[in-house]
Amino acid sequence: MQNSVKSLMRITMLSALSVVLMFLIRFPLIPAAPFLEYEPGDVPALIAAFLFGPGAGVVVTLIVSLIQALTVSAGSGWIGALMHFVATGTMVTVAGIIYRRIHNFRGAIIALVASSIAMTLVMIPLNLIFTTKFMNVPVEVVKSMLVPVIIPFNLIKSSLNSILTVFVYKPVGRFLRVDIASLSNSGQEI
C-alpha cells in the first residue's frame, strides 16, 4: 500500500511538471506551420514510463492532454486532446515496453528511437482522419502537408523530447526515488 501511494505521488509530481512545461515552453518548429508548436511536456511522461511502466506514462499523458485541451489548445478542443493523447500515448507505451525488456542505456536509446518513429507514424492517419473530418481541412491539403510539415514536425518534436529525456532521466529518477518520509523525518525540505 505504501509503495502504491508513493508511486501515485511521484506520478502526480511528473504530471504537474509536464503541465508546467507545457505552459512555459511553447514555440513553432516549422515556419510553414506555426500552429504546430513544440513543447517538452512529453518528457515527464517518458520518465514516468521508464520509472513506473507504460501505464504511468499514459496516465501522465491523459492528465496533460485534458488540461491542454481546456487551456492552451482550447481552439482544437477534444480533437487536439485526443490527437495529443494518442500520439504521446503511443510514444510512452512503446518506450515503456521496450525499456522494461531492455533495462539499460542501450535499451533506453532503442526505446526512444522506436517510440519516436511510432509516434510519427501514428500521426499520419490521425491527421488524415481527424484534421479532415472534424476540422474541415480538405484531404488534399493534409496529404500535401504530410512530407514537408507533419512528418518532420513529429520527428523533430519526438527526437527533441527523447534527447531531453536521456539527459534528465537519471537526475529526475534519483530525485523521485528519494524516500520522502525520511526527508520529512530528518527536517529537510522536500
Is 104 contained in some domain?
yes
The grid cell for 93 is: 507505451
> Mind giving me the DSSP string for 39-77?
-TTHHHHHHHHHHH-HHHHHHHHHHHHHHHHHTTTTTTH
Is 109 contained in some domain?
yes
What is the pLDDT at residue 178? Answer: 56
Domain extent, residue 67, equals: 2-26+37-168
Asked whether the predicted pLDDT for residue 185 surpasses 50, the reply is no
Is 190 contained in some domain?
no
Is 178 contained in some domain?
no
Is 177 contained in some domain?
no
pLDDT tens string 106-163: 999 999 999 999 999 999 999 999 888 877 889 999 999 999 999 999 999 999 999 9
What is the pLDDT at residue 179? Answer: 46
Tell me the pLDDT of the chain averaged across its residues.
88
- Answer for the pair 46, 18: CB distance below 8 angstroms, yes or no: no
- Number of compact structural domains in the chain: 1
The grid cell for 102 is: 531492455
Return the CATH number at 16: 1.10.1760.20
pLDDT tens string 23-40: 899 999 998 888 888 999
pLDDT tens string 9-68: 999 999 999 999 998 999 999 988 888 889 999 999 999 999 999 999 999 999 999 998
Is 185 contained in some domain?
no
